[in-house]
Amino acid sequence: MPDTGRWTSVRVTPDAGSASAREACLAALFAVGAQGVHEDLSALVTHFPPATDLEAVHRALTEADEQVIIETALVPDVDWSEAWKSRIGAHQLGDLTVTPPWLAEGRDPARTIVIEPGMAFGTGEHATTRGVVRLLPRRLRDGDTVADLGAGSAVLAIAAAKLGAARVYAIELDGEAIPDAEANVARNGVTDRVHVFEGDAGSLLPLVAPVQLILANIISSVLIELLPVIGMALAEDGAAILSGILREERDTMMEVLSAHGWAILEEDAEDIWWSVSIARA
């Protein structure tokens, strides 16, 4: 496509029948240069500047998801380096508010999680993040030790610290997400309680065990693989909150949890996503 001097809007609708397609498309968009991605129901929307190789964007997305639907359109001449901020809002989730820095002024720091949108997943814009934060207060006790698996931006680890956890281990496999997570921890004043580690959750979790609460916002296939190590890492009276599960996967996940000896404590659902808190039966 010739350079028109205008930005291009790219709307991506992943394969609804694939549990991993959404995350794969999201990763592909960031890999080809997206600076921010907005969720519009089942679609992912972003904008690319003039001279972007849109064929490369298309290739990356179709390699991530063969059934993906990609729609592009030229947009008015707008400074998207600032305009994208209008699409990210503050989210009131019980006693906590998750907000970007430009909407944080005047809020109570003790009940506000300030997240700078970056490469790491987790700004409060995704229903899976909100589901965990809604379930968190009813499972977390003052002084608990918590492990956050697949921590991304560390938003959930920060939430646990602000709700009373004494120590939180934020474990993230993606090395590129670590600087964002560490910056967010410092920005929220919880460096004394939240410790960020780079590595595989299955390997690192046993090293920080036992913990009273485990948070895991990861795709369902990975959650299932982690269930045995989650069970071994929990203290006797511990619990876990799982998210990243599609509503259509609920029945299958319930069967898997039951087969692994887990009891359902509470459920949360928003849009196409399902979250659940569990404990040993």
Question: pLDDT tens digit string along 140-161?
Answer: 999 999 999 999 999 999 999 9
Q: CA geometry: angle at 111 spanning 173 and 126, to 5°? A: 45
- Identify the pLDDT of residue 6: 81
The DSSP symbol for 69 reads E
Question: What is the separation of C-alpha 132 from the centre of its chain, rounded to a whole number of angstroms?
Answer: 10
Residues 6 or more apart in contact with residue 79 via CB below 8 angstroms: none
Q: Are 58 and 29 in contact (CB under 8 A)?
A: no
The answer to whether residues 119 and 176 touch, using CB atoms and an 8 Å cutoff, is yes
Domains and CATH numbers, the chain: 8-84 (3.30.70.260), 88-280 (3.40.50.150)
Residue 275 has φ and ψ, to the nearest 5°, of: -125, 155
What per-residue confidence (pLDDT) applies to 123?
59
Distance CA 20, CA 14 (A): 9
Q: CB–CB of 16/31 below 8 Å?
A: no
What is the rounded CA–CA span in Å between residue 74 and residue 124? Answer: 28
Per-residue pLDDT tens over the stretch 198-231: 999 999 999 999 999 999 999 999 999 999 999 9
Weakly modelled stretches of the chain, pLDDT under 50: 1-2, 80, 119-120
